Amino acid sequence: MKLIYEVKDRVAYLTINRPEAMNAMDAEVYEELSRAWVDVRDNPEVWVAIVTGAGQKAFTAGADLKSFITRAPEKADFWLTQKDMLLNRGLEVWKPVIAAVNGYCLAGGMTLLFGTDIRIAAEHAVFEISEVKRGILPGNGGTQRALRQLPYAIAMELLLLGRRLSAQEALTYGLINTVVPMTELMPTAEQCARQLCENGPLALRAIKELAIRSQSVPLEQGIRLEQSFQEFLRNTEDAKEGPRAFAEKRKPAYKAR
């Protein structure tokens, strides 16, 4: 399997499983990722997702260029448009997604990273938007999200020069949340996932959706959207359970209802 997908204790694990190729993503990986993200979106047993790469060398080196050159005709559409829905293209996943970056995060790996919410990196991880060096551009929103998630001058330096960042530089620029030793990477990601699962799942999804949608609407529209979400949440079981648990000095038992 080129993608290992499993669900455990309300957490979905997506592991790109091509360590011999620096977890580069060929057409099959993109297909499997698309199916996995749809399950993350639709599966009521999933509240949080963690995406990572197999081994200790690479998160993902992005699209498999060797496969691109020798692609089979029936897979051509994936390389021309990657038309199936992905986390960073066309698929709206409002559940929190954690990236556990275990090494090289290059090209399409950066685009995948931009689609995640909380990012934890191993100390040896490196980050590079390298497409320009190959005569192509970062697709699937890579140019757009770089400019939204990084200061303009830094984003343009990465996009135009393809400069590589160390984990500490990425932390300084706000691209990632924390840097840990490799041995602590998955435990840290899982601890974060557990903390997220302790919060109201519907509130988490509403907050993420508001955060993303607010980037493309005026402030006044964003506030109105926030109010409509508030009205919706007020009538849910979870919105009643949270204050009740607080008053009773116990942990809330949320049900995503």
Domains of the chain by start residue, with CATH: 3-197 (3.90.226.10), 201-247 (1.10.12.10)
**Whether residue 224 has pLDDT greater than 60:** yes
pLDDT of residue 83: 54
Q: Which amino acid is at 72?
A: A
Pairing of strands 48-53, 11-16: parallel
Contacts of 61 (CB under 8 A, 6+ apart): 21, 22, 23, 24, 104, 106, 107, 109
pLDDT of residue 81: 44
pLDDT of residue 69: 62
Highest mean pLDDT among 62-66, 198-202, 251-255: 198-202
- pLDDT 10s digits, 39-87: 999 999 999 999 999 999 999 999 888 776 655 555 555 444 455 667 7
Q: What is the pTM of this model?
A: 0.91
Question: Both tokens of residue 88?
Answer: 């960073």
Residue of 90, 118, 134 whose CA lies nearest to 192: 118
Percent of the chain with pLDDT over 90: 77
Q: Across all residues in the chain, what is the average pLDDT?
A: 91
Please indicate whether residue 134 or residue 68 has the higher confidence score (pLDDT).
134
pLDDT of residue 239: 92
Confidence of residue 179 (pLDDT cuts 50, 70, 90): very high
